[in-house]
Amino acid sequence: MIESILIKANNNLSYNSDEKDERINLKQIVDEEGLQIHRIEYLVQENTLPHPLTVHWKVPAVNVMGVWKPTADFSKRIEADWELESHESRISIDAPIISLFGNADENILCFSCSNAINKVEMAAKYREEDNHFYCTVKFFTECKYPISGFSADIRIDQRNVHFSKALQDTAKWWESFENLKPAYVPDIANKPLYSTWYQFHQNLSEDLLLKECKIAKGLGFESIILDDGWQTNDNTRGYDYTGDWRPERFPNFQDLVKKIQDLGMKVGIWYSVPFCGVKSEAYKKFKGKFLTKNHRWAPVFDPRFPEVRDYLVGIYTNAVRDWQLDGLKLDFIDDFKSYEETSFDYNPERDFSSINDAVDALLVQVVSELRKINPEIFIEFRQKYTGPAMRKYGNMLRAFDCPGDYTMNRVRIADIKMLAGKTAVHADMVKWHFDESVEDAALHFMNTLFGVPQISIMLHEAPKSHLNMIQFYTEYWNKNSKVFCSGKFLPSRPLSNYPILRANLNNKVIIGIFEDQILQINHRFLAIDILNAKASKMIVINSNLNLGTYEYKIYDCEGKLIKDNFINIDEGLNTIEIPKSGMAQLKLI
């Protein structure tokens, strides 16, 4: 095993290797204040099966409060070096980045890798013997085929900046690579969306869909995704019929799409991209061209075969062209991976050895062909396939399914958003029980506002007060979408699940407060909106300067104005009362 080691001592970087191998070259290519980039190269003259290759270094465990990883969810704790699990990333899983953050949300260390297509294993583990974090970036752990060379850059950021800026700057760095250029984002990608999944599952009906779309449009929703069920009469939650994608349930599918579009909504449909159900015609056609036939849901197509890629591209392009679709939800991309029975033996019918490279080729072809038909098409991916490579193909990245869990929704939105650049970040579809009070129902919706809201409830069954709340906050979001989507995003306290979120643009700040925390405001914004997404009414504002006098309006969650007054925000502590799930809008006078 070839082991390359990068050791950090004091502020100087030194390099050594435990096995002298002239094929390994590790060099520093950038050295700025607190920021270094190192390039590792594997130089071979001919195709060679690589051994696992690891880059190591260590940093003192000083002022490290937690460890951020892209899909860590609630678990941003420090891990000991005897915890063996690493952070894995590849084209359709996560992103190659780890961040160590401090007690004041400052960046301690943020390290990342340019290899966002093929598998990378990363770790930052605490070693008790010397109180250091031991960091690793490991390549070739699943490479079962020869390669003719390899190069990757490792970015090590120790600047004294907010941890979110270190993450956002990494996203910009990834964008600089030609093979990671983000896709164009159409306006519709940043509009609230109605999804059919949680409330309908596969039991879709045309009359009810049209009824729901009419209500949704009136509430401020601009698009719909027809999820699983549009294509089959099977209601068993299974995937046995995937692969053919004929609209059995709606024989005149184009007519349904047009009826929805005539209501003023854009229409996208769902596909489970890798699955080829055993009851489909495609299963017979592509016999022997699966990564596995033993998946829990359905056999998985092998994209290393060009005819598999062409078949899938044809499915999507024909659908978009024939049915005049506005978007697609491409699901289960992460199931394109190596399985126990996946063959890496030479096969002249395959034009790729790497599954990940083949997925890249498939999705590049999909996007290229779809944009020829509809340049404004939206394409949604969901966690965990929301990393820098997926931004090449998708212009909407959605939080992973968390029905009923609004705290998780908020956390996942924030985690995706810090690495998403200008790509639209969508909430998981919110859903709640209609016996909840309107204030409690509003918490589900308010926790999505720093992403693009998605909803998945039977609107025609919702209480009037709930519809009022949805309309109030959807209209508010639409009016302020530029701030939410393009403003400077600042999440706080990652180990506490981001109890305060902020977005500011053009001297306006929107602040969501989700737990009882002191709200620090040290800038004289012209406009301040405070969303009180917590149980208590009291908001405590602390400032290190006199901000001046603001006129304020306070609304309840249904949009009713309940107070109109003035407040002086002075240096020190200030208080204002906002009802649970309500909002205050302050304007400097």
At 173, list the tokens: 């760095």
Spatial contact of 126 and 133, defined as CB atoms under 8 Å apart: yes
At 319, list the tokens: 């659908």
Q: CA of 371: how far to CAs of 183, 397, 564, in Å?
A: 10, 18, 49
pLDDT of residue 165 exceeding 80: yes
> In Å, how far from its chain's centre is CA 561?
35
| Residue labelled with tokens 């892209």 | 70
Local structure of 224: helix, strand or coil: strand
Q: How does residue 21 score in pLDDT terms, banded at 50, 70 and 90?
A: low
Spatial contact of 572 and 542, defined as CB atoms under 8 Å apart: yes
Q: How does residue 526 score in pLDDT terms, banded at 50, 70 and 90?
A: very high
Q: How many CA atoms lie within 13 A of 524 on its CB side?
A: 11
**What are the counts of helices (DSSP H) followed by strands (DSSP E) for the chain?**
11, 32
What is the model's pTM? 0.95
| Least confident segment among 20-34, 77-91, 415-429 | 20-34
Per the omega criterion (within 30 degrees of 0), is the bond before 181 cis? no
Whole-number pLDDT of residue 2: 27
pLDDT of residue 176 exceeding 60: yes
Spatial contact of 161 and 107, defined as CB atoms under 8 Å apart: yes
Spatial contact of 397 and 425, defined as CB atoms under 8 Å apart: yes
Q: How does residue 321 score in pLDDT terms, banded at 50, 70 and 90?
A: very high
Helix or strand (DSSP H, E) at 267: strand 266-272
Q: How does residue 20 score in pLDDT terms, banded at 50, 70 and 90?
A: low
Mean pLDDT of the chain: 94
| Residue labelled with tokens 């607190």 | 34
Whole-number pLDDT of residue 495: 97
Q: Encode pLDDT of 449-463 as tens digits.
A: 999 999 999 999 999
pLDDT of residue 23 exceeding 70: yes
| Least confident segment among 15-29, 372-386, 422-436 | 15-29
User: Averaged over 255-282, what is the pLDDT?
Assistant: 97
At 354, list the tokens: 């790497």
Residues of the chain with CATH 2.60.40: 2-180, 488-588
Q: How does residue 75 score in pLDDT terms, banded at 50, 70 and 90?
A: very high
Q: Could you tell me whether strands 107-113 and 150-157 are parallel, antiparallel, or unpaired per DSSP bridges?
A: antiparallel
Whole-number pLDDT of residue 19: 46
Top-level class of domain 2-180: mainly beta
| Residue labelled with tokens 């190596």 | 338
Q: CA of 339: how far to CAs of 238, 271, 299, 530, in Å?
A: 21, 22, 11, 49
Q: How does residue 251 score in pLDDT terms, banded at 50, 70 and 90?
A: confident
Residue 529 bridge partners (DSSP): 510, 585
Spatial contact of 174 and 180, defined as CB atoms under 8 Å apart: yes
User: Averaged over 435-451, what is the pLDDT?
Assistant: 99
Whole-number pLDDT of residue 202: 84
| Residue labelled with tokens 């699943």 | 142
pLDDT of residue 129 exceeding 50: yes
Residue that wins the pLDDT comparison between 253 and 2: 253
Whole-number pLDDT of residue 235: 64
Residue 165 bridge partners (DSSP): none
Whole-number pLDDT of residue 237: 61
Q: Could you tell me whether strands 290-292 and 300-301 are parallel, antiparallel, or unpaired per DSSP bridges?
A: antiparallel
Q: Could you tell me whether strands 454-455 and 12-17 are parallel, antiparallel, or unpaired per DSSP bridges?
A: unpaired
pLDDT of residue 197 exceeding 60: yes
Whole-number pLDDT of residue 203: 86
Top-level class of domain 192-484: alpha beta
Local structure of 361: helix, strand or coil: helix
At 243, list the tokens: 């692969």
| Least confident segment among 249-253, 488-492, 501-505 | 249-253
Count the helix, strand and coil residues of the chain and give each as a percent rounded to the nearest 5: 25, 30, 45
pLDDT of residue 96 exceeding 90: yes
Q: How does residue 8 score in pLDDT terms, banded at 50, 70 and 90?
A: very low
Rounded Cα distance, 217 and 224, in Å: 10
Q: CA of 466: how far to CAs of 96, 460, 473, 578, in Å?
A: 41, 11, 11, 19
Residues of the chain with CATH 3.20.20.70: 192-484
User: Measured at the alpha carbon of residue 246, what is the angle toward residues 245 and 248, in degrees to the nearest 5?
Assistant: 130
Closest C-alpha among 176, 183, 180 to residue 368: 183
Q: Which fold has domain 488-588?
A: Immunoglobulin-like (2.60.40)
Whole-number pLDDT of residue 576: 98
| Least confident segment among 106-120, 139-153, 309-323, 418-432 | 139-153
